[in-house]
Amino acid sequence: MDWSAEAIERLRALWAEGHSTAEIGRRMGISKNAVVGKAHRLNLPARPSPIRRETGEATPRPQPVRAAPAAPRNTLPPVAVTTAPAAPPRVVPPPAPSASVVRPFPRMGAARACCWPIGEPGQPGFRFCAAEAIPSKPYCLEHAAVAYVKARDRREDAA
């Protein structure tokens, strides 16, 4: 905005009347930020904060509480610690392959399984769909219809 001498005088007058920056902007047809910036550049007096209300009485600030010096600790003689021999580590066999285990996709041309999760991971009964996947997609026809929604369809559903 080009600040003409008339616009600056009007800004000074509205500022002196105590109007908010938003109100001055509305009356002058400019943004609130333009008013704030120009008022700052003109060194107009600062406004009181609408958040911090000044009261007639000054309220004393609470003094920070200082921690008392630590009392000397009672020192006890060191205690000998004996440890039991460690148990040998348990060997856990790897899980048997199943449909619930995610495997990398086989080479192109081979049948692939749908990777749609069914249930909650980590809970009993969690598995993957395992139906035949659509070529070039990780899901079967039914789950691909849910996973791949056209943007146009989403906008129509939102309306």
Q: What are the C-alpha distances in Å from 34 to residues 93, 109, 131?
A: 71, 64, 62
Lowest mean pLDDT among 56-60, 67-71, 135-139, 142-146: 56-60
Question: Do residues 100 and 127 make contact, with C-beta atoms less than 8 angstroms apart?
Answer: yes
pLDDT band at residue 47 using 50, 70 and 90 as cut-offs: confident
> Residue 139: which residues within 8 A CB-CB, separation 6 or more?
114, 115, 116, 129, 133, 147
CA distance linking residue 131 with residue 112, whole number of Å: 8
Question: Do residues 28 and 7 make contact, with C-beta atoms less than 8 angstroms apart?
Answer: yes
Lowest mean pLDDT among 37-41, 84-88, 102-106: 102-106
Q: Name the one residue in this structure whose structure tokens are 């920070």.
A: 64
Mean pLDDT of 141-153: 80
CA dihedral (6, 12, 18, 22) in degrees, to 10, reads 60
CA distance linking residue 19 with residue 11, whole number of Å: 10
32: Cα separation from own chain's centroid: 29
Look at residue 104 and tell me whether its pLDDT is greater than 60: no
The CB-side HSE value for 99 (13 A sphere, CA atoms) comes to: 15
